[in-house]
A and B are shown apart, each in its own frame.
Chain A
Amino acid sequence: GESVGLHLPTLSVQEGDNSIINCAYSNSASDYFIWYKQESGKGPQFIIDIRSNMDKRQGQRVTVLLNKTVKHLSLQIAATQPGDSAVYFCAESVSGGYQKVTFGTGTKLQVIP
């Protein structure tokens, strides 16, 4: 079946370094991808998204890269801060509005002060 998955369950990064969180997806029909951040005790929060007609999109300290050839998505966080410690989920969907969004299992990012 179709699935979205993450390579690593936990990632530890030194404060100030860059973080890279990876995600693989298998539904070739997916054309909309989203990264969410979930802090302890809170619901997931939108970080950044990208559509399949792009291969890179930048936000504030975050960059999402999409490689459709190998069905790979990554989230890069520049100058990682303690406040970035959270679980990060990638999600995929086929565009059409309130479409079903398929989430990965999540990667826990731990920032070492």
Chain B
Amino acid sequence: ETGVTQTPRHLVMGMTNKKSLKCEQHLGHNAMYWYKQSAKKPLELMFVYNFKEQTENNSVPSRFSPECPNSSHLFLHLHTLQPEDSALYLCASSQQETGELFFGEGSRLTVL
């Protein structure tokens, strides 16, 4: 139990589907993140939310749409994805003052 829970753990979707990834943190942190992890590439920061406000959008295509309804929950809405979007999507949280990231176990996404 890492304190950051992601669902679903595995997701297979077609390019025309719409799905969402969910992340919940039980650590009382005020910042939440979405990272993309592809094979043999560094972790790529996608979005950062601090106190529910989006503070970073790292040039992510609009087919990825984040939502942060409160400091404990973060969603990543997916629509009309491409096969190259297949990856492990990691959610993380941190306390602003410390910066240490706590990661969930990820959602493995496969786009057919």
- Indicate whether A and B interact: yes
Residues in chain A within 8 A of chain B (CB atoms): 4, 32, 34, 36, 41-46, 49, 89, 93, 95-106
CA distance A101 to B31 in the complex (A): 13
The reply to whether A46 and B56 form a contact with Cβ atoms under 8 Å apart is no
Q: Which residues of B contact A (CB under 8 A)?
A: 2, 4, 30-31, 40-43, 45, 48, 50, 55-56, 90, 92, 94, 96-97, 99-106
Alpha-carbon distance between A4 and B96 when the two chains are bound, in angstroms: 22
Distance in angstroms from A91 CB to nearest chain B CB is: 8
Can you list 5 contacts pairing A with B, beta carbon distance less than 8 Å? A34-B100, A36-B101, A42-B105, A42-B106, A46-B102
Question: Are A101 and B45 in contact, with the CB atoms below 8 A?
Answer: yes
Closest to B103 in A: A43
Compute how far the CA of A49 lies from the CA of B101 in the bound complex, rounded to whole angstroms. 11
In the complex, what distance in Å separates the CA atom of A99 from the CA atom of B98? Answer: 10
| Nearest opposing residue in chain B for A99, CB measure | B99
Question: Are A93 and B104 in contact, with the CB atoms below 8 A?
Answer: no
Instruction: Known contacts A43-B2, A43-B90, A45-B2; decide if A101 and B102 are in contact (CB<8 Å).
Output: no
CB of A98 within 8 A of CB of B31, answer: yes
Q: Which of B42, B48, B104 contacts A98 (CB 8 A)?
A: B48
| B91 closest partner in A (C-beta) | A43
User: Would A97 and B99 count as touching, CB distance under 8 A?
Assistant: yes
- Shortest A107–chain B CB gap in Å is 12
Q: Which of chain A's residues have a CB closer than 8 A to the CB of B2?
A: 43, 45
Of B40, B48, B101, the most chain A CB neighbours within 10 A belong to B101
Contact with B42, one of A42, A97, A103 (Cβ below 8 angstroms)? A103
